[in-house]
Amino acid sequence: MLDNADLGKLIIRLTLGGLLLFHGVSKLLNGIGFIESQLVSHNLPAILAYGVYVGEIIAPLMIILGYQTRIGALIVVFNMIVAIALVHSHQLLSLSSNGGWSLELQGFFLFSALAVIFLGPGRYKLKN
C-alpha cells in the first residue's frame, strides 16, 4: 500500500529537482557569463559563478534521486538566496505584469527546497 506522505515527498522532490535542473542544463549549454558579470559588479570573484553548477545540477540530482536530499536542498536554498541577493533584490516587493509576485519562480525554488529540508526524502529514494 502506498504511503501518501512518501508519495507527496517524491512529487515535491521530482518537481523541485526537475524544474531546477533545466536551469542548470541551460547554463551548461549557454555558459555562465551573466552570473560572472553579476558577481564582478558586486566586487566578488567571477570564479564563484561555477558554484551555480553545484546549485543547479548536482543539488537537483541529489534531490531527484533522494541521495543526501537534505544537503542538496540546503545547497538550493543557499543558491537561491545568492541569486535573489545578486540579481533580484530590487524585485522583492514588486508584482509582475500578470499580477503575480515578480519572484514567483525564485520563491518556489527557495521555499520548496526549505520544505524538503524539513520533510526529508521519504521512502522512495536511493539507499544512503
Q: In the chain, what are the domain boundaries? A: 4-119
pTM: 0.93
Percent of the chain with pLDDT over 90: 85
Mean per-residue pLDDT, 17-45:
97
Provide long-range contacts, Cβ within 8 A and 24+ apart, for 10-14.
10/66, 10/122, 10/124, 12/112, 12/115, 12/116, 12/119, 13/63, 13/64, 13/66, 13/69, 13/116, 13/121, 13/122, 14/64
Q: What is the pLDDT of residues 64-99, one digit of tens each?
A: 999 999 999 999 999 999 999 999 888 888 988 888
